[in-house]
Amino acid sequence: MSTTSEPGRQQAAEADILEELKAELAHDLEEERPPHAGPLAQVGAGLVTLALGVAGTVLALGYGLGTLTQPGPGLWPFAVSVAVTALSMAQIAFGRDGQDTEKFTRSSALTALGVLSLVALAALLPVIGFEVPSLVLMVVWLRFLGGESWRMTAVISVLTVAAFYALFVVALSIPLPRLV
């Protein structure tokens, strides 16, 4: 296959001007992104993936590696986990100065609140049906996470839930747990 050598060659020719372009882009978009989170986050990220790699290695050993003629269930996960471990060590050693992380800002609390509302939806759905939890989710996201006016919030939430009811229950008759 002649295409297999292509990417390397193309990359070599384009890499420099591409880097330039990317740098320009990054600079352009920088003012809109939160500041990067620094070396601690880089090392932390590496430690998390390292832990996953080590855990994977240990568990895979337990599943049995077998032999190359008779590969056991653990051989492939073992190989992959070792790769994760090694790459994570490289990240911890060399990745400190990377600038591709983002600081958590005050608005990250919005995301946390959003996740909580999703968990609440999942917990309530089988108990009281989808209508009320969906309405609550819409109100929380529109009013408190999105800063919409109460009037906007009311109109859009009710319309959306009604549309979902019409689509899932009436039109597609999907067995969604429901109140009515």
Within 111-150, the residues that bind another protein by CB under 8 A are 111, 114-115, 118-119, 121-122, 125-126, 130, 134, 137-138, 140-142, 145-148
In the shown chain, the binding pattern of residues 49 to 88 toward another protein, with x for contact by CB under 8 A and - for none, equals: x--x---x--xx--xx--xxxxxxxxxxx--xx-xx--xx
Q: Could you say whether residue 10 binds another protein (CB under 8 A)? A: yes
Q: Could you say whether residue 180 binds another protein (CB under 8 A)? A: no
| C-beta atoms surrounding 84 within 10 Å | 19
Most distant pair of Cα atoms in the chain: their distance:
69
Position among 18, 40, 47, 51 found at the interface with another protein (CB under 8 A): 18
Shortest reach from residue 128's CB to another protein, in Å:
13
Burial 140-165 (b: 16+ CB within 10 A, else e): bbbbeeeebeeeebbebbeeebeeeb
Q: Could you say whether residue 3 binds another protein (CB under 8 A)? A: yes
H helix intervals, 4-149: 6-30, 39-63, 75-94, 108-128, 131-139
Q: Could you say whether residue 35 binds another protein (CB under 8 A)? A: no
| C-beta atoms surrounding 33 within 10 Å | 10
